[in-house]
A and B are shown apart, each in its own frame.
Chain A
Amino acid sequence: MEPAEQVASRDEDLIRRIGTGDDGAFRELFSRYASVAHALAFRLVRQAQLAEEIVQEAFLAVWRHTERYDRSRGSVRSWLMGTVHHRAVDAVRREQAQRRRSEDAILLQAGAAEDPIDDVLAAIDLPAERRAVREALADLPDEQRDVIERMYFGGESQSRIAELTGLPLGTVKSRTLLAMRRLRDRLGATGP
């Protein structure tokens, strides 16, 4: 496993080369992150075709606009996953707004709520990064992990989570911050 600093440095070099039109660099970046990005998009939108479109659009944006990456704002992988997550959440919320107009919304929402990250946590024989992140998530108090699941893996906004759980909005916010701090402390600077 490459140390985190080497991964970050390698990714930044790939971005620089992609900016010069280097196909090979793009293929390497794509091979490193496309399958995780696809998993993330599918997890959120739960539609194969839409998930593929989101991944393709996100990587197309990388191919066309490497100048949008600002290293002072974080690593390449965080930028990439953030881009994919943002696009997927937009899609989820658009669909949710449409669903709310029908009775189906209630059933579909209940189904989503019954899909916690436990299935992810149950997997075995994981690469180190996946194992580290899953362990960090598993180490969270249940109420904090629930907020992270709903917000990051479910695409729910803070207000929607408060509405669904009956918690005060302030509690949702404070649990989110506590969870993020705990994840940061647990994951630290280590990476893939």
Chain B
Amino acid sequence: MIRDHSLIDELLAIQALDGLDGDDETTLDRELAAHRPCEECDRLQVEHAEVAGRLAFALDPLPVPAGMVDRILAEPQRREAAPQDAVARDEVARDEVGRDEVGRRRDARLRRWQAATGVAAAIALLLAIVLVTRGPAVPDRFVPFQGASGELAMAYTPGEPGVYVWGDGLPDPGPGKVYELWMFQGGTPIRGACLTPADGSLATFVDTDLGSSESMAVTVESEACPAAPTTEPVYTAELS
């Protein structure tokens, strides 16, 4: 059967330029899922990404400050596995019977979810101040999330239900979009709650049970709050 790729082609072109928004993000996800496996979709995605990547080279290079490379190298490497191991994992995944492309990509996402690192003491302090003012039941675990921008943290008491979530400087998830909190238990994402920051800030109580969750993640999702994540995590946190 010959499928029409015109819509996917158009949306992938815009996505490659980071211009996609609104319902079209959901539409693209849905169309891609409906086409899988789809070599033509993959080809179009790579093709548009390559063109977009080339555009940067139209600009006059701007030297970076001296010492930046040394500062980066001073940071420890925190890889999950060497690239060779990643290749081996992918080969195993390809051999698994009955698993489609969507499933493999979801597994790859889940592996990356466990990459949370670092400490944000300032966030924890601010969170503590906020929470102390809310009453006597002050959580005793403060966990900062790692993400591209803004600050996000959570607090909880092991064995007790409920999670306090606090954020500041969070990017607008976009029209028709929300943040969705996920608990990661034994390789499976468990839906936490949908969160909508106001002016980039967030301070809320999520009535959920962390149970045996070993990590947390936040994705950008449609307002429908899907039961499973459909995008890459934008914030992650380890609970151990």
Please give, as numbers and ranges, the residues of chain B lying within 8 Å of A55 by CB-CB distance: 64, 68
* 8 CB < 8 A contacts A-B: A26-B73, A38-B63, A51-B62, A59-B68, A60-B72, A81-B53, A129-B57, A130-B60
- Contact check, A152 vs B55: say whether CB atoms are below 8 A apart: yes
Cα A66 to Cα B58 in complex, Å, equals: 26
Cα A13 to Cα B45 in complex, Å, equals: 23
B residues contacting A by CB (< 8 A) are 9-11, 13-14, 16-22, 24, 42, 45-65, 68-69, 71-73, 75-86, 112, 115, 117, 148-150, 169, 171-172, 174-175, 199-200
How many residue pairs bridge A and B at CB < 8 Å? 217
Cα A58 to Cα B51 in complex, Å, equals: 20
Please give, as numbers and ranges, the residues of chain B lying within 8 Å of A153 by CB-CB distance: 55
- Contact check, B82 vs A19: say whether CB atoms are below 8 A apart: yes
Please give, as numbers and ranges, the residues of chain A lying within 8 Å of B69 by CB-CB distance: 26-27, 30-31, 34, 59
Shortest CB-to-CB span from B219 to chain A, Å, is 14
- Contact check, B79 vs A19: say whether CB atoms are below 8 A apart: yes
- Contact check, B51 vs A187: say whether CB atoms are below 8 A apart: yes
Q: Of B20, B46, B83, B85, which is within 8 A of A157 by CB?
A: B20
- Contact check, B172 vs A87: say whether CB atoms are below 8 A apart: no
A residues contacting B by CB (< 8 A) are 15-16, 19-21, 23, 26-27, 30-31, 34-40, 42-43, 51-52, 55-57, 59-60, 63-69, 72-75, 77-82, 84-87, 89-91, 93-94, 97-98, 117, 120, 123, 129-130, 133-134, 137, 148, 151-153, 155-161, 173-174, 176-177, 180-181, 183-184, 187, 191-192
Q: Which of B65, B83, B148, B199 has the most CB of A within 10 A?
A: B83
Cα A16 to Cα B35 in complex, Å, equals: 32
Please give, as numbers and ranges, the residues of chain B lying within 8 Å of A82 by CB-CB distance: 16, 49, 52-53
User: What is the interface of chain A mostly: helix, strand, loop, or mixed?
Assistant: helix
- Contact check, B13 vs A36: say whether CB atoms are below 8 A apart: no
Cα A26 to Cα B19 in complex, Å, equals: 30
Cα A117 to Cα B146 in complex, Å, equals: 35
Which residue of chain A lies nearest to B169 when distances are taken between CB atoms in the complex?
A: A94
Cα A52 to Cα B71 in complex, Å, equals: 12
Which residue of chain A lies nearest to B22 when distances are taken between CB atoms in the complex?
A: A159
Cα A78 to Cα B45 in complex, Å, equals: 12
Shortest CB-to-CB span from B151 to chain A, Å, is 13
Q: Which of B51, B52, B84, B148 has the most CB of A within 10 A?
A: B51
13 more contacts with CB within 8 A, not counting A36-B57, A38-B63, A133-B57, are A39-B59, A52-B68, A59-B69, A63-B77, A65-B115, A67-B86, A79-B49, A81-B53, A90-B149, A93-B172, A94-B149, A157-B174, A183-B51
